[in-house]
Structure 1
Amino acid sequence: MYDAVVLDKDGVLVGRTSFDTLREAAWDAFVSAGVEDPDLAHVDDVAVGVDPATLSAICERYGLDPTEFWRIRDEVAAAAQIAAARRGQKTPYEDVDALRYLDASLGVVSSNQQETVEAVLDHFGLSGRFEVAYGREPSIASLSRKKPSPYYLERALDALDAETAIFVGDNESDIRAADNAGIDSAFIRRPHRRSTELTCHPTYEIDDLHDLVSICGRAPVDDGPEE
């Protein structure tokens, strides 16, 4: 049915990073940039979901160069998330192995840093399962390319030479990115999304990655010689 399946990383393949970890990384970024006591509201803004205009205003408040500060912030945030994975605080979901049964090319598209995407997938031995894996470059421009923009998703679809594709995510921004790219979507109801009420309409709602096998078709898998 689909020749390509593209998945978000955090909340789909591996657990999400705690907000406390991201907040601490944002605080450390301010300190590294020479701001010893930033406003906590500004720290929280920078930790998650900041847009270019807000970032520019915050940097102006502290006399920081936005481009350099964002480079520091992304570098520190990537290091914090990679460290969390290595400490076992961020681990793959148990159903990730179901991906090997999918009869489709596989890719990853995340709004996280490219460095984080590559390091986390590699740490858990998942890199080889995906033909492409896209995250953000450490630039202010990348903030406008995050989902729901289809920018990175369309790059993945081009790289996979996909004619029919589905994008799997755990956020409304994932579903809207799929809509904006003109492809189908699946909203995965991980435990942190069990009671989420959507204001958009995914093509499918699934409980776990095993459901994708039913949707996409099962590929023949060599499980090795019988004992």
Structure 2
Amino acid sequence: MIRGLIFDVDETLLYYEGYTLRRWYEEVGRPAMEKLGVLLDWETFRRIVRGELSRRYVERFGIDHVEFWKAMDRANKAYRERLLEEGKIKPFPDAGALEELRALGLKLAAVSNASQDNTELVLKAFGLDRYFDVILGKDYSYLDGVKPNPYLLNKALKVLGLKKDEVLLVGDSSNDVLAGRNAGIKTVNIVRFERVPGADYYVNTLWELVNLVKELRAKNPLGLSPR
């Protein structure tokens, strides 16, 4: 039986007007790197963010990788604060479905590859933080534990006190689908911008997710494992 949901945050619950990773790299990431005396070209930066290269890669430039990514996160926080002031970060119109999901008795987690404070910043800005039993951003003690690595998902499961077959992972990207697969958790691709291959279920809105959860519960009301 489905007893909990783990949500991605950015581009799943919240929309960033005009955002692309490449644009963020040019406008925010690159200037922050230059202040550190380090410059990752776009392709290398993209591969690190996608989990294709370790975040320790930056240490070949003579900088501690934790300090590098903390500096990047500080720059990201300033960027997010500016976008919030300009009204360019917005919750998707269906974010109200979180209240309905809570009313179903589900435990909810928010898990993001952004830092803890950056994740909490945007959720709190719209009062969405109140829906979640736990909010997890990247862990500086294990920076390669971001999605598609299952590390953060396993942390969420432990806090929620749920088993893998009792939750669904809801996200918009291939990193979310891969993270779910790596953790052994079934995934729901919410098709905000594109349909990601490999998900177990597809929905177009969070209201469709509410219906999906109800359907899955109706099929297995006692929470019995399939034989």
Q: How many residues align?
A: 205
Q: For the residues of structure 1 that align with 2:94 and 2:204, how far apart are their CA atoms?
A: 11
1:136 aligns with 2:138: yes
Aligned position for 2:30 = 27
Amino acid at match of 2:187: S
TM-score of the aligned structures, taking structure 1 as reference length: 0.79
How large is the Cα RMSD of the aligned pairs?
2.5
Q: Map 1:167-206 to 2 at 5 A.
A: 167-190=169-192, 192-193=193-194, 196=195, 198=197, 200=198, 202-206=199-203
* Distance 1:56-1:216 versus aligned 2 partners, 3 A rule: same
Give the share of equivalent positions with the same residue, in percent: 29
Q: Map 1:40-55 to 2 at 5 A.
A: 41=42, 45=46, 48-49=49-50, 51-55=54-58
Unaligned runs of 5+ in 2: 216-227
Aligned position for 1:97 = 96
Q: For the residues of structure 1 that align with 2:88 and 2:48, how far apart are their CA atoms?
A: 18
1:65 CA drift (Å): 4.1
Aligned position for 2:3 = 3
Unaligned runs of 5+ in 1: 219-227
Q: For the residues of structure 2 that align with 1:66 and 1:154, how far apart are their CA atoms?
A: 23
1:125 CA drift (Å): 0.9
Aligned position for 1:166 = 168
1:123 CA drift (Å): 0.7
Q: For the residues of structure 2 that align with 1:72 and 1:86, how far apart are their CA atoms?
A: 22
1:157 CA drift (Å): 1.2
Amino acid at match of 2:126: F
Aligned position for 2:86 = 87
Q: 1:22, 1:48 within 8 Å by CA — same for their partners in 2? A: no
Aligned residue for 2:89, secondary structure, equals coil
Amino acid at match of 2:35: S
Aligned position for 2:221 = none
Aligned residue for 2:11, secondary structure, equals coil
TM-score of the aligned structures, taking structure 2 as reference length: 0.79
Q: 2:5, 2:169 within 8 Å by CA — same for their partners in 1? A: yes
Q: For the residues of structure 2 that align with 1:29 and 1:146, how far apart are their CA atoms?
A: 21
1:121 aligns with 2:126: no
* Distance 1:53-1:89 versus aligned 2 partners, 3 A rule: same
Amino acid at match of 2:160: L
Q: For the residues of structure 2 that align with 1:12 and 1:39, how far apart are their CA atoms?
A: 28
* Distance 1:127-1:39 versus aligned 2 partners, 3 A rule: closer
1:217 CA drift (Å): 2.5
Which digits, 9 at most, give the CA deviation of each residue in 1:17-75, with x for residues without a partner?
4332343221231243246xx57547955994463254234xx2xx5444432221121
